[in-house]
């Protein structure tokens, strides 16, 4: 079990570094192709990173996550108009 947790923590750190460098395409599922604009992918990854904060008090609530994701979708709709 400890090895499993170490692997997960290592993966989280690697993804966090990729997000900070705005190179999400390096960890994005290639089967998604170019269906999503990278600025939206970056926003979603950043929301996910907030959810992984070690201190639960620093994590967003589910309602906040939903609002952030809806805002990302709204931004997309406004931009497309």
Q: How confident is the model at residue 75 (pLDDT cuts 50, 70, 90)?
A: low
Residues 46 and 71 sit within 8 Å (Cβ to Cβ): no
pLDDT tens for each residue of 16-71: 888 888 888 888 888 876 777 888 888 898 999 999 888 999 999 999 999 999 99
pLDDT at 79 over 80: no
Residues 38 and 25 sit within 8 Å (Cβ to Cβ): yes
pLDDT at 81 over 60: no
């Amino acid at each position: 079990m400890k090895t499993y947790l170490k692997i997960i923590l290592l993966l989280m750190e690697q993804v966090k570094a990729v997000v900070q460098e705005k190179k999400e395409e390096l960890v994005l599922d290639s089967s998604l192709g170019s269906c999503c604009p990278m600025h939206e992918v970056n926003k979603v990854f950043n929301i996910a990173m907030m959810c992984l904060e070690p201190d639960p008090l620093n994590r967003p609530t589910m309602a906040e996550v939903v609002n952030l994701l809806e805002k990302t979708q709204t931004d997309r709709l406004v931009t497309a108009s």
